Each structure stands twice: as structure tokens, then as C-alpha cells.
Structure 1
Amino acid sequence: MDPRTSAQDVMRCDLCETTVVQMHCDTCLVNLCTACVGKHMISDESKDHKVVKFQARKSTPLYPGCTTHSKQQCTMYCNKCDIPVCTKCLASDQHLGHKLSEILQIVDEKKDKILKEQTELKEKIYPNYKDIASDVKNRMSQLQKEYGDLSTAITKHGEDWHREIDKLVKKLRAEVDEMKNTQLQTLQKHLDEINKTMSDIKDEINAVEMAIDTNDLSKLFKVTSNVNIYRSLPQKLIPTLSKFIPEKIQEEKLGKMFGTLSSGSFTSDKDGYRMKTTQKSLEAGSSPPVKQLLDEPETVTTIDTGYEVLYNVACLSDEEIWTSGNDSTMKLYSINQGSLLKSIATKSGKEPYDIAVTKSGDLVYTDYWDRTVNIVKNEKIKEVIRLQNWIPKSVCSTSSGDLLVIMTSDDRKQTKVVHYSGSTEKQTIQFDDKGTPLYSSGTYYRYIAENRNLDICVSDNGAKAVVVVNQAGKLRFRYTGHTPAPKNKPFNSRGITTDSQSHILIADYNNDCVHIIDQDGQFLRYIDCGLSEPRGLCIDTNDNLFVAQLRNTQVKKIKYMC
């Protein structure tokens, strides 16, 4: 048996190809037996051969060759030129005065960066893609079921008709199957693309692992990462299911009277998938623990704010709240101690119209008087938005970290909601599909909040209603109160907020209570707890409600869910 070709053979010397490997040249990456070491050392005397025991191979760094000076190894790194350099490079004037580092230090830093990105790929990005693939599969399964239910409904309706319409039933069922297949094919294509990306990520992880494992530093410097590309998760395809609309049976116009199918389609929600996070606060779109409303909400604590009139409250954390009233000072209070921790005055010296806390924990306020929206960072006020011909009213921070601002025109005849990313206007919401204004005109109170399902909820005091639109600005519903109210007075909406269950909570100034409705506008219950003229509202991460009371200037913390 030829020892060089035996499947059970051990590793052999690269020179003689017969003797078992005992040594290794880290410079040339050659396996050697002891007898061939001398022969290898004199084979190329221009190299500094580093021969070590085979078990200790890759222990000697293989420095990159200098691109300027042949046969020179680069042991240093020029930080300004961002290249490896050799001793001859350093002796020249080319890098005079430049900051230099040992190349092994730069290698360690690059390894750390690569390993962090590899960890992100392994532990965060790839699992997210895996979850997305599972979500698409579930949607496909649900689509199968719902289209099956649709076919059954059509068949059942067809059984009530005469035999003459059997062909119409078959035609409509064929349309259902065609739409189902089309949408399934679209989702399958989407899934294939996701699986392809997942495969690419795995390949990149493997490539990084191989580069990290080698002692060939030139290969390491060639490693490039596509992690920035993979951070941008794919769009979320949501199929719009066709609906079967039956009609009463008549002898004429059978085709029209039997019923029609609305077109099935997809909507593409680019923000539908989000990276999972370990933040304490829940992101929009994630699944929070299911909670139940308490039969008897209870007041946990009361905080005196010291204002003459109290307007707004905003949760900074589960321990601290911001407040604002009828002067220029915004005050931060300890919830448990009820003590004042900090005060910030507006730049204009006027009272803020509304306050909110951004996703990053900064205070934001609207200044009605100088038409600005401002953010407070490290106790310094930065103007983010300055309006012309419009006056800002209420503001809220979105789950993506953007701002929603509701504003009125100078002549008070128009009201609109504007979505900002930083100072950039992304979207304006003002009219419904028929061109009718969504919001009232005039000098009324208006407050805004984003729900967990990304609906935009506006408490419109002028319309005596809560106006809810979806993320695209399409009207979903209007809530105009519930009868009987605690004091049997007309609904008078003020502050608005939402909780982890997508409930919408609205302060009712006339009835000294807070309304709770679900995300579709159905009334659930009232919270009163001895409230007096409720104005501003906010919710902490544990779903405790904070209510700012106008003239007694107290903030009440209320537990209403468990």
C-alpha cells in the first residue's frame, strides 16, 4: 500500500513525502520531518525561517511584506496613512511625524472589531433572520387556512343557488386559488431571498472564523464585513386577504348578485421587522405579556408639583417624571420620594405647550410662542424644528425614535400631524381619502400619541373626539366618548397615551376621569380614582398611569392593570 495515498495514513513531510511530520516552518507554511529541516533552511536563505515543532505551528506571526521595499516585513503600522510599514519605510521621510503603532496592536484591535461583528452576526442578526423566516412560514400557513375558509364560504353560498350557477361557483373558486397561489409564490420568493441572505451570513461567519484562525496577517487585513448591509432587515410582506361578499339570491343578474371577490394583494411594511433588543422598554411590534384590567384601579402615590396650574407629565423612567405647567420651568420629580430633582427653563422664557421623553431618554418640548420644537440634552437646549406659518402644539416620540408633532396654521383654519426624523419632515397627515380634514380647526387643545401597532392617535378637543389613523395616515376610527359618563357631561378630551396592550387612554376633563379604549376604538372602562380636572397623561414601562391634574397641581400614579 502506498503510504502517500492510504486513507488511514498520517500527515507526511512536504519535502520527502514519506516520513511522518515532526516540524513546521511558520514562515513558509511547510510541514517537515527532522531530516528535511536543514534542506529546507538552505533552500531559500533570503527568508528568516521559523521552524517549530508541528504542535506549535502558527505560533510565529507572519508579518505582511512591504509593498515598497521587497523582502522586508512590516512590523509597524502608520496610523495616518493607514498602512503597514517596515523599518526602511520608517527610515525614510515618507512617514516623518506620523503616529505609529506596533502592527500586533493594530491586529489585536482589528480582531476585536471582527469578533464583535461576528458575535453580532451570530447572536443577533442571524437569529433575527431566522425568526423572520419563521414568521413568513407562519403567514403562509395562515394564508392557506384563511383561503380555505374563503373557499368554504363560497361553496356554502353556492349550495343555496340553482344548478345553473355551478359554473360561476367554479369560476370564483378558481379565482381564489389563483390569488392564493400568486400570494404564496410571492411569499415563497420572499422566503427564498431571506434564506439566501441567511446562507450568506453563515458563509461570512465561516470566512471570518477561518481568517481569525490563521496566522497569515495579510489574509486578516483582507477581511471585509457586510454586517452594515445585514443590519437592514428585509421588508415585511403582509398579504391582504380577498373577501367574499355574498348578495341575496335573485333571478336576474346572477353574476352580480351571487357575490364578488375583492382583490388580494400585499402591503410592504419596511419597518415591520425590527432587531430584537434587550432594552427594558418594549418595542412596537413585539409581543408583550398579556395583562388584565383591574376591577378597581387604585392610586399608588400622589406628587405635589408646586405649579399654579399643572398641564403635562412625561415619564423619564419608572422612578422619575418630568412635569410642566403655567411657567417656563420644566421640573423633574422622584416618583417614590416626591422630591424635586432638577429644573430646566425654556429658551424663550415662555411656558412649554407640551413635553415628552424621547426613546433615548431626552426631554423634548414644544414652544408655542417661538414656533419651535426643542430637545434637552445634558441640561442644554437644542432647537430641532422651527416652523413658519404653523404653530406646534403636542409632541410625542415614536418607537423608531422619530417625533410626531401636531400643529395649527397661523390663521387657526388648518391642523395637521407632521412626522419628523430629526429636523427632516418625512410625512404629513391632514386629510382623509375624500380630501376632508381629519382634525378640527380653531384654538383648541390637541394631544398626540403613537400606539404599539404604530397607529397615530390624536385627542382633538375641538372635535370632541379621538382621531386614530394608521401609520400611512389612513383614518381607522373616531372615538367620541361613552355613555353614561361618570358625571353625565359631554366628552371633553385632553391628554392621551397608550400602554403595552395597545389600549388608548384619554383624559376627560369634564367628567374627571380617564377613558380606556382598545386599539380598534371599543370602550373598555373608566378610571376615576378621585381625579380632578385631568389634563396630561403618560404611562411607565410597568403600565402605571400618571395623571396631571390641572388646578390642584398634583400628579397621581394609578395602577389599573395586572
Structure 2
Amino acid sequence: MVKENQILDMFGKLQLKNSNVSDKQQSVLQLMETPVTLKEIQSPYGNKSELWRITCEGTGKLWVSGNNGTINQIDWDGSILKTINLSKNAVGLSLNVQQEIVFIKGWEDTKVFKYKNNNVVTLLELSNWRPRGLCHTINGNLLISMRSLDEAQSRVVRYSGSSECQVIMNDKRGKPLFSVHSRTVLHLIENGNGDICVADYAGNAVVVVNSSGILRFRYGGNKITKKKNKTFEPLNIVNDKQCHILIHNQLNNNVHIIDCDGNFIRYIKYPCNGGISVDTDHNLVVGESVTGKIRIIKYLE
């Protein structure tokens, strides 16, 4: 439910486009026929550890995490700029508007954490819920997907600061929008059109709702090429300048690109089970879990 006095906090004020923005920035980018790898980076993972998550900080810096209880900030040469040591593995990462890293650690924790002034601090305590994914919206709100401790319910909650201002849980008929499974993630993004897109791994679908929480569509994989004995397993999810939704399919370790209405466009076939992100130059950034390698891929022009 959305509280009326928090509408402005959620969506911000309408602003006119900056007349100083270049024609190139305003122009529509097209998908390249053949994506090109611009750079390959060796992350701190891959030597007896696995790379799991990637979040771009602009262009040239990355935040990465894996299964060795650390979060690392690295540059495009793979040099470690900062290391955060944790008691558990970070299973979700997001950067807030102040460029502070916000994260989820472990599968059993009911808290969301932030790294501030070289210290890990608790940002939110969810009490009867476990966080399963998180992302920041364009106006600074925090969206958190979560599952109840009794594993009976899943939901997405919008926070303005520490205040809960929207809960997305059921469709118009009162049926659950999201699956329930204790240990699987529910990664999510806010698309440029205001839609909230949730990679429901256990539900084998990407669930897309509008800013009011009304279901727009479910994407269950490319029906044309999908084999009958294959299941769509969406794990990581990002969006780009054109409101494309880019989905990592864990089953065959590639990226599905769909438009904002759920129509399949194409695949990008690079190893990406170590996380995906998009930088501010509109490049796709994908990680390979076992080797820890990260590739910067140009796919728009």
C-alpha cells in the first residue's frame, strides 16, 4: 500500500531535460549485430573462490562479491581499491545515490547493511522477513525483495529512507506475484519507465509490475527456441538506457534481452554466472563464477 504523503518521495518531481546534454547522449542507441569484448579483468575471485555479484560504480570502478566473505571495490585493471571483510557472504549488492555500497549478507539474516565511513552498519532490520534482493531507484528509494521467516510469503517493499512506503505482494485477484523458496534469490531492478522487474528464480519467470505494483507481464523465456525439457532460470537482472531488460539465465549461462513489454529481442552468449551489471557508458559487464574473470562488452551503438 502506498502512503499518500510519500508519493513525492517515491517518484520525485518532474524535471525538464537538460538542454546542455549532447545530441549523442540524447540519441537512441541500437543493439549491435555482434557484441564486442572491450576488456577482460581478473577479479580477486577465482583462486579457490567464486565470483557471484557485480555492481558498476559509474565507468571504471566495480564492486564485486563472492563466496569468501568479502566485498571488493576494483578498478578496470583489476586492482583492489577497497576490501570489506564480512562474517558471511554478500548475496546482494547495490549502490545508493551517495555511492555507498548497500548489501545483504548470508541466507538467514534479517538485516540490510551499508558500508559507511569504513564501517559496516545496519541500515534496516526486517524482523520477520529475510532479504533476497535489493536495488536503488533513480530517485534514491530502496527496493528490497524478501521472503517471510515461515517461507509462506514473498514480497517487494519500497523504502524512502528507513520508512516503508509501498508493499508489492499480490495481483488484482489476490494471488501471490512471487514464488516462495527459502534460499533462492529474488534479484530486482527498477527499469527506466518506472517498472519493477523481479528475477524470480524459483518461479522460473521474470515478474514485471508497474510503479503502482500492478502486474504488467511475466517472461518465462524465449518460447520460440525454448526446448520442452528446458526450464528458464532467471538469476541476475539489469536494465539499460533503452529500457531493455537483460536477464541472466542460469540454466544455459547466457543473457536474454527483452524489451520493456516482455518481447524477446536476442541473446548475448558470454559466461555470466558471476554477476551482470551495466556501466554508465552502456556496456554490459559480466562475470564468470569459477575463473573470476569479468568482461566489459559493448552491445549498443
Asked if Structure 1 and Structure 2 have the same fold, meaning a TM-score greater than 0.5 normalized by the shorter chain, the answer is yes
**Pairing 1:97-496 to 2, within 5 Å after superposition:** 271=12, 273-274=14-15, 288-307=26-45, 308-335=49-76, 337-346=77-86, 349-368=87-106, 369-443=108-182, 444-482=184-222, 483-484=224-225, 489-496=230-237
1:550 and 1:499 mapped to 2: Cα distance? 23
Residues 356 and 397, structure 1, Cα contact 8 Å, conserved in 2: yes
1:484 and 1:355 mapped to 2: Cα distance? 32
Deviation at 1:272, TM superposition (A): 5.9
Deviation at 1:327, TM superposition (A): 2.1
Deviation at 1:356, TM superposition (A): 1.1
Q: Is structure 2 residue 268 aligned with structure 1 residue 527?
A: yes
1:462 and 1:454 mapped to 2: Cα distance? 24
2:226 and 2:297 mapped to 1: Cα distance? 20
Distance 1:424 1:279, change over 3 A: farther
SS in structure 1 opposite 2:88?
Answer: coil
Structure 1 counterpart of 2:70, which letter? T
Q: Is structure 2 residue 239 aligned with structure 1 residue 498?
A: yes
2:26 and 2:171 mapped to 1: Cα distance? 31
Deviation at 1:442, TM superposition (A): 1.2
1:534 and 1:288 mapped to 2: Cα distance? 32
Distance 1:549 1:416, change over 3 A: same
Structure 2 counterpart of 1:527, which letter? I
1:370 and 1:404 mapped to 2: Cα distance? 17
Give per-residue Cα distances to partners, 1:93-145, cap 9 Å, x unaligned. xxxxxxxxxxxxxxxxxxxxxxxxxxxxxxxxxxxxxxxxxxxxxxxxxxxxx
Q: Percent identity?
A: 37
Give per-residue Cα distances to partners, 1:150-177, cap 9 Å, x unaligned. xxxxxxxxxxxxxxxxxxxxxxxxxxxx
- Runs of at least 5 residues in structure 2 that lack an aligned partner in the other structure: 1-7
Distance 1:457 1:322, change over 3 A: same
TM-score, structure 1 as length reference: 0.48
Distance 1:430 1:543, change over 3 A: same
The structure with more helix, counted as a fraction of residues? 1
Deviation at 1:373, TM superposition (A): 1.1
The count of residues paired between Structure 1 and Structure 2 equals: 284
Structure 2 counterpart of 1:290, which letter? V
SS in structure 1 opposite 2:173?
Answer: coil
Distance 1:489 1:303, change over 3 A: farther
Deviation at 1:489, TM superposition (A): 3.9
Give per-residue Cα distances to partners, 1:366-422, cap 9 Å, x unaligned. 124432112222322231101111101111010011110001111222110000111
SS in structure 1 opposite 2:158?
Answer: strand
2:82 and 2:145 mapped to 1: Cα distance? 28
1:446 and 1:303 mapped to 2: Cα distance? 27
1:241 match: none
Deviation at 1:554, TM superposition (A): 1.8
1:503 and 1:485 mapped to 2: Cα distance? 20
Structure 1 counterpart of 2:292, which letter? T
1:402 and 1:334 mapped to 2: Cα distance? 27
Give per-residue Cα distances to partners, 1:55-87, cap 9 Å, x unaligned. xxxxxxxxxxxxxxxxxxxxxxxxxxxxxxxxx
- Runs of at least 5 residues in structure 1 that lack an aligned partner in the other structure: 1-234, 236-268, 281-286
2:4 match: none
Deviation at 1:288, TM superposition (A): 4.3
Residues 489 and 511, structure 1, Cα contact 8 Å, conserved in 2: no
Structure 1 counterpart of 2:197, which letter? C
Residues 256 and 266, structure 2, Cα contact 8 Å, conserved in 1: yes
Give RMSD over aligned pairs: 2.4
1:73 match: none
Rg bigger for which structure?
1
Deviation at 1:298, TM superposition (A): 1.6
Residues 365 and 375, structure 1, Cα contact 8 Å, conserved in 2: yes
